Amino acid sequence: MVSWSRSFMIAIKIVVFSIVWAVVGLIIILIGSASVILAILTDPTAFQGSFSNQAAFGIVLLTAIIGTIVTALGTIATVVKFTTDEAVKEVFTSNIAPRATQAVAPIPPVQPVGVSNVSTTPTQVKGNYKICPRCGTPNLQEAKFCKKCGTPLP
């Protein structure tokens, strides 16, 4: 179970990243608004027709929508990322990590099907290879496990 202090740290990170996304969205909105204001200041007659006024309003509205979408999606992505990361850590530490330290029972040697000259002794050495006692696959001398079936080689 996640501790309260860990939960509060995650919440603080989510709030900080949400503020960052809000600032990014606000910057996008301000850029759109500033471009219209700058156009009006440089040429006051630029937006004197009804179509021009609608175009200016459309630019401001479009950048406001884009800024809002960026803010919302960024905040949602932040929440999903931090909660998913924490869930994966919790599952790993409670289920996988304890099992990784447990001893694994050795696989008993099995006579491979269709191979008659392989013994069930721990390992045969043929030239520069160790022969797997389970499947008969030749492995390099320094191999710890069979490259085909994974049987431990002494």
Mean pLDDT computed over 100-121: 56
Amino acid at 87: A
| HEC per residue, 93-148 | HHHHHHHHCCCCCCCCCCCCCCCCCCCCCCCEEECCEEECCCCCCEEECCCCECCC
Residue 152 phi, psi (nearest 5):
-60, 135
Residue 73's pLDDT is what?
96
The average pLDDT across 32-53 equals 77
Give the pLDDT band of residue 62 (cuts 50, 70, 90): very high
Stretch 124-136: mean pLDDT, rounded?
A: 76
Highest mean pLDDT, choosing among 1-15, 61-75, 132-146: 61-75
Asked whether the whole model's pTM tops 0.85, one would answer: no
Q: Is the pLDDT of residue 120 over 50?
A: no
pLDDT at residue 115, rounded to an integer: 56
**Per mean pLDDT, which range of 12-21, 89-98, 144-153 is the poorest?**
89-98
Q: What is the pLDDT of residue 144?
A: 86
